[in-house]
Structure 1
Amino acid sequence: MQKQNGLAYSYIRFSSKKQEQGDSVRRQTELAEKYSIANNLTLSEKNFQDLGISAFKEGNRPSLGDMLSAIEQGAIESGSTIIIESLDRLSRRGIDVTQQIIKSILQHNVFIASLTDGLLLNRESVNDLVSVIRIALAADLAHKESEKKSQRLRETKQQQRKAALSGKVINKILPFWLAREKDQFVFSDRLDAVKRIIELKKKGLGTNKIAKTLNDEGFRPLRSAGWNHTTVGKTLSSVALYGAYQTSETTKDRKVILLDIIDNYYPAVISKEDWMLLQSDAKQNKPGYKSDKNAFTGLLKHSCGGALVRKFHVVTGKTYQYHVCANARDGKCTVTQNFKNMEIALYKILKHLKMEKKTSVDTTIAQERAQLKEQIDNLNGMLLTMKKVPMSVLETIGNLEEKLQELDQQFKQQSDMVLAEQSVDFNLLSEIKDPIELNMMLKRVIKEITVFNLKKSWRIKVQYLNGHSQSFRWDGYSMSFVSDSKKLLEYMNAEKEQLDN
């Protein structure tokens, strides 16, 4: 029969970070030490601790992986003993997973001592009926207990959601700028930090630069490591900024489903309209290097599709500015000439930008959405009266819901565009001195600015997000107006009306 070699390793595992400062580690360590003394084993200092990782979630478990690798590679010698408090410390995902882990350990002639279960398992145990049954019972019990805990947690969250929907102040983790006082939510002492984040974002700064600014200005961070782009990004995307509470539900497979958004639940830092603009601006921020002093980054391009990159040339102490096509620089475009004074032209164009702003979303989309919702509701109502549900009805509901999702997306895009257009005052664009802020404002209404080569000049086309455009001619020194698609469309429509009459 296989013999123990006198060496033991403790595998400590627990499921809540709150337990790190409690008795869990101490209790399991003491149990391992007592078992080692009672069985003449030397407890190795190489313990395996998965601190704060739940066994049920089965997330990233480096210590378990390290232990299994150490066993496979022989770092934990044949005949050694792994000491665990109970079998559920290895896994709570049921019989199959637990048995697989146990087999992977035992097949290398390594023992498992499960203290609570009173089991000492060796390689022969997988063929021993009593041991197999006890392992299965312990694994099944642990799995069911975990499911019960998860179910209780889901039920608690459902109760909280119902309470929140009725306007009650629930007990939950709050955003850092909020606090709970008796039966109401109030601003915390960190309100100045979230206001500064919003202020910096409105100026066009990205999340990394906002985090750096907060650290430089001495705002007290949420963690000792300081402010970071992740915290800033989550803050800016939180609906709690405009006072809303996003309810959610966690499924059995640990997926989070977003449910109702409850408006006016918290005190608002900004309006919903301002929050939506923040989200729109965030989508415009593309990864990569961005110049702090270029108002047209991400907008200016050559007719070949390549970006127009700003360059500087110093002659006798004087700095000259020009643009080159990035594709030409990489050998993908035949136009290798420099584009002179292009930024001067663009700032001149700012004074001539014109666009008829929309004041509302297309009514046909709203009407179609309402009709689809009514159809879906009617079909769902029919299902309740049917003893046998035809597949055709379910397929129809599925198709209608897909169409509704498409319309919802169109409605949101148009709503965002209307909001963005209303937020931009074309008369004031040329007065914005901060290039980052100007860049952000331009991206709210402009899709791209394309430069076309003419014989001795350039045509600069401003393409708006709403589909219209304006074109200008620039010879390097003077600007002339070329065309306006909006005016052309209005002229053509007027001509058509006259012909019809």
Structure 2
Amino acid sequence: MNERRKAISYIRLSTEAQLKGHSLARQKKLAEEYCSSQNLELVEELRDVGVSGFSGVHREKGRLGLFFESLRSNSLDHKAVLLVENLDRLSRQDPLTAMLQFAEILKYGIEIHTLFDGQIYTKDKVSSDMGLLMLSVGQMMRAYDESKTKSRRLSAAWEKKRNDRSRILTSKSPSWIKPTRNSEGVVSSFTLIEAQANVVRSIFELTIERNMGSYAITRHLNSNPGRYPKSDKELRSGSNEWSESFVKKVLKSPTVFGQFQPMKMVDGLRIPACDPINDYYPAVISEADFKLAQERIHQRTINGRGRKGKRFPNLFTGLLKCSKCKSSLRYRDRGTGPKATVTLQCSAALQNRKKCNAKAVKYQAFEDLFFSVISDLSLTASLESQTAKDHVRKLELKVVDEKSDLKRLTTKLDLLTDELLDPGLSNSIKTRLRDRLNQLDKQIGQAENAVEAAQAELEKFNYQSNSQISSDLKTKSTERADLDRGSQEAADFRRDMNHTLKKIIDVIYVDNSPSFHIEDIREELYSEDDLSDDFLDWFKANKNERWKYQSAIEFVASEYGFQKHQEFMLKFYIHFKNLELRGVLHDGLFFRIDRETGKDLHRSIGVN
């Protein structure tokens, strides 16, 4: 008994709606009946739904693409038969592209059987039968012409709809917006779903006011499910929890301030069909707030992104650098219980890079020392002043707009420069281009000055508003203490504080590099006269009869003693945005210098 040949059915439906109609059932039935009549074994059904044969997407991303991969990898029986209703199911692209695809299938020995007319195409038959070849080419030309005409009509219809700004172009809308239909069932307007719009507003508020990233925002939303419920659209995902991907999508979507971008397909890619349409959807936030949020995201990218943990333990994230090698300091929480150590460590020293020997700094001691030397500044009350917030937003938006203008001019300059390099340009055109480049160069200089002026105005206000408000930072000591108990309120407060510190501080350089090596002490190259006076005082005050080290120099020769002595050598330098520099010693004494003029502002101020 002869073995039955294997058949593979390929079905393509250009729209999801055809699934609900008769197209799928018809194609399936045709394939089954044909296999029965021709003694073929139907072993597989390849189905592409909602993809266009005109764009070629089915060949790149659909099941047809997998079919070609199987052919080329020799994992498919080359004696198999491919069943299609018509050749236009394989492709509706231009005839040359369609013919190349058609020929590739036949080249591998696969037979193509068309169910509608019962034609059988093989490599040998098409090569020897001119009539069959012309029949296949004719079908491809007809399919292409039909799709091209249909595409042109649809494009014209959409263009007409896009130009009529009084009409709703599509009923699709974000999850926080509900389409309203008229008596005829046509979408006539959109309305906000207030509960969901509140979620969107909160996402942007957390980004702008608290400088929270997508991960922290997602955690905040999921920690308060009663305040941030999900809509029916979002619940379709099967989870009642918010996802980080949703937060990221919202933060990047202009639909939040009402803008809609019509799209069209070109060569299988979705591209803008026209300029964005403003005021298409009801706005949840202002365009100004959207711009500020993008600037926050951009700044986090520059200053260091990533998950900061549920407690936000490192108050100085993005601010600390090693004074010796200029590498960032890493927050390290090692161990648990009473022996747990939380330190700040130069990342280069940790990896033995840059020949940096900076030692670890105890985190809590550093935080306490830092706040003792900036106690003349209030970093909390400005967070509670709405007037200050509004003014800061105004100044921040001014900076964003000036930067946007500078970027636009720079892009234009780059394009003109590329154009000037064209060897085919005449001298007269080159002269005009050079004149335009000179004008743009002047405009860019003015724009750069405008950005600097706007940033200086913002930094000056941030510094003044944070230093003139009388509220004392120590009133927040209870929130800081709550951190050990995992208080969400304390963590949120620390995140706000970090955001505020970045407004008034450029960088904090931490100098904790030893002036000598422990081996030098062990080899007796140094004496007690070379040790810190404060350390010697501490050693004498803490020494007792049980102390196993007889001298301070012997103690420093031990690992623990060397680290203890280094604690008395710690220095750090706070570079404020108003050009003030504060140099701080381990005991809280510090000096203040104007970085621009070098003038002493104040010297040797003690801990309050």
What does residue 191 of structure 2 align with?
Answer: 186
| Matched-pair contact (CA < 8 Å) for 2:11–2:84 | yes
What does residue 560 of structure 2 align with?
Answer: none
| Matched-pair contact (CA < 8 Å) for 1:82–1:112 | yes
- Structure 1 residues 213 and 352, CA, compared in 2 at 3 Å: closer, same or farther? closer
Distance 2:145 2:444 in 1: 41
Matched, 1:223 2:236: yes
* Map 1:309-388 → 2, pairs under 5 A: 309-312=330-333, 317=338, 321-332=342-353, 333-340=355-362, 341-347=365-371, 348-349=373-374, 352=377, 359=395, 360=398
- Structure 1 residues 310 and 211, CA, compared in 2 at 3 Å: closer, same or farther? closer
Deviation readout 1:360-419 (Å, 9 max, x if unpaired)? 56999979989x99xx9xxxxxxxxxxxx9796599679959959979996997799589
- Structure 1 residues 488 and 211, CA, compared in 2 at 3 Å: closer, same or farther? same
What does residue 466 of structure 2 align with?
Answer: 426
The residue type equivalent to 2:163 in the other structure is: K
Distance 2:457 2:19 in 1: 48
- Structure 1 residues 249 and 92, CA, compared in 2 at 3 Å: closer, same or farther? closer
What does residue 320 of structure 2 align with?
Answer: 300
Of the structure 1 ranges 141-150 and 421-430, higher mean CA displacement relative to structure 2 is found in: 421-430
Distance 1:257 1:398 in 2: 33
- Structure 1 residues 469 and 350, CA, compared in 2 at 3 Å: closer, same or farther? farther
What percentage of residue pairs aligned between the two structures are identical? Answer: 25
The structure number with the bigger radius of gyration is 2
The residue type equivalent to 2:593 in the other structure is: S
* Map 1:460-475 → 2, pairs under 5 A: 460-462=573-575, 464=577, 469-475=579-585
3-state SS of 1:293 partner: coil
The residue type equivalent to 1:224 in the other structure is: S
3-state SS of 2:29 partner: helix
- Structure 1 residues 327 and 196, CA, compared in 2 at 3 Å: closer, same or farther? same
| Matched-pair contact (CA < 8 Å) for 1:8–1:82 | yes
**Deviation, structure 1 residue 307:** 1.5
Distance 1:83 1:298 in 2: 62
* Map 1:109-120 → 2, pairs under 5 A: 109-116=109-116, 118-120=118-120
**Deviation, structure 1 residue 301:** 1.9
| Matched-pair contact (CA < 8 Å) for 1:281–1:444 | no
3-state SS of 2:582 partner: strand
**Deviation, structure 1 residue 28:** 1.6
- Structure 1 residues 9 and 400, CA, compared in 2 at 3 Å: closer, same or farther? farther
What does residue 98 of structure 1 align with?
Answer: 98
3-state SS of 1:282 partner: helix
1:47 to 22, 41, 45: 45
| Matched-pair contact (CA < 8 Å) for 2:4–2:41 | no
* Map 1:124-273 → 2, pairs under 5 A: 124-127=124-127, 128-164=129-165, 168-181=167-180, 182=182, 183-188=188-193, 190-201=196-207, 202-211=209-218, 213-214=220-221, 217=225, 219-220=230-231, 221=234, 223-226=236-239, 227-247=242-262, 251=266, 254-257=269-272, 260-273=275-288
What does residue 8 of structure 2 align with?
Answer: 9
3-state SS of 1:342 partner: helix
Distance 1:363 1:265 in 2: 27
- Structure 1 residues 313 and 240, CA, compared in 2 at 3 Å: closer, same or farther? closer
- Structure 1 residues 30 and 367, CA, compared in 2 at 3 Å: closer, same or farther? closer
| Matched-pair contact (CA < 8 Å) for 1:8–1:80 | yes
**Deviation, structure 1 residue 195:** 3.4
3-state SS of 2:269 partner: coil
What does residue 58 of structure 1 align with?
Answer: 56
The residue type equivalent to 1:451 in the other structure is: V
Distance 1:191 1:159 in 2: 31
**Deviation, structure 1 residue 323:** 1.1
**Deviation, structure 1 residue 436:** 2.5
Deviation readout 1:325-361 (Å, 9 max, x if unpaired)? 011000014223123433334445485499x989556
Runs of 5+ unmatched residues, structure 2: 183-187, 380-390, 416-424, 480-489, 516-568, 602-608
- Structure 1 residues 264 and 47, CA, compared in 2 at 3 Å: closer, same or farther? closer
**Deviation, structure 1 residue 16:** 2.6
**Deviation, structure 1 residue 53:** 3.1
The residue type equivalent to 2:256 in the other structure is: L
What does residue 289 of structure 2 align with?
Answer: 274
- Structure 1 residues 13 and 323, CA, compared in 2 at 3 Å: closer, same or farther? same
| Matched-pair contact (CA < 8 Å) for 2:10–2:84 | yes
Distance 2:268 2:440 in 1: 28
Distance 1:131 1:350 in 2: 91
What does residue 418 of structure 2 align with?
Answer: none
Distance 2:500 2:197 in 1: 26
| Matched-pair contact (CA < 8 Å) for 2:46–2:63 | yes
**Deviation, structure 1 residue 187:** 0.4
Distance 1:296 1:369 in 2: 34
- Structure 1 residues 416 and 367, CA, compared in 2 at 3 Å: closer, same or farther? closer
Of the structure 1 ranges 473-482 and 414-423, higher mean CA displacement relative to structure 2 is found in: 414-423
Distance 2:590 2:215 in 1: 40
The residue type equivalent to 2:230 in the other structure is: F
**Deviation, structure 1 residue 55:** 2.8
Deviation readout 1:437-457 (Å, 9 max, x if unpaired)? 333455567554433458734
Aligned residues: 466
| Matched-pair contact (CA < 8 Å) for 2:319–2:507 | yes
CA RMSD of aligned residues (A): 4.6
- Structure 1 residues 176 and 419, CA, compared in 2 at 3 Å: closer, same or farther? farther
Deviation readout 1:266-292 (Å, 9 max, x if unpaired)? 332222232222112222334544343
| Matched-pair contact (CA < 8 Å) for 2:171–2:179 | no
| Matched-pair contact (CA < 8 Å) for 2:263–2:270 | no
**Deviation, structure 1 residue 174:** 1.5
| Matched-pair contact (CA < 8 Å) for 2:114–2:120 | yes
What does residue 108 of structure 2 align with?
Answer: 108
